[in-house]
Amino acid sequence: MSEETTNETTAADAAETTTTAAGVGGIAGVPTVKTLEGLVDLIQSQRSMLANSNQKNADTFNQLQKFITEKTTGVSELDGAISAVAGFVTEETPADDEHVVRLTELQTERARTVEQLQNADTQRRNIFNSITMTEGALQILAQVLTSAGLEGAAEGAATEAAAEEGTDTEA
């Protein structure tokens, strides 16, 4: 007769081997808050960090907008050039003709530019979503401070963050 070995673990066995005290563990790096003042300070510092992050995202969004505008203009210019060169190309035009070569180059450049536009647009949409979510988080933190009777603290954190970064951030 042969013996079978199993690696089954019962719930009781698991409970015995993985006991953790209540309130211990969780997300690494989260500060422990023991006082109301500590909680307010934590909320204010998180608001400041979010406001700075949101400003950087807004700057990136604006740069992407400018890039997209420039590339869209470039595609329009390439379309005009492609149209002009295509007027010199017929079915009988040899493949090594300078017009055919130039037309191929322009079409390749247009395809690359359109791909860059699509990538930039995807990044822009992702950043916009991030900005929107961060704005929501900032509003929630402001409401928490306001409902706790710390309206001035909420405004002070935004003003302090703007002063540190040299930006204009609304609370």
SS3 at position 100: helix
In a domain, 170, yes or no: no
pTM exceeds 0.85, yes or no: no
User: Alpha carbon of 72 to those of 18, 58, 69, 102, 131: distances in Å?
Assistant: 58, 21, 5, 21, 24
In a domain, 12, yes or no: no
Q: How distant is the alpha carbon of residue 134 from its chain centre?
A: 10
In a domain, 97, yes or no: yes
In a domain, 18, yes or no: no
pLDDT at position 23, please?
A: 53
Average pLDDT by stretches of 10, the chain with 171 residues: 47 47 54 83 92 96 98 98 96 95 98 98 98 95 86 52 42 32
Between CA 97 and CA 88 the distance in angstroms is 10
pLDDT at position 168, please?
A: 41
Q: Which structural domain range is residue 147 located in?
A: 34-165
Number of domains in the chain: 1
In a domain, 13, yes or no: no
In a domain, 4, yes or no: no
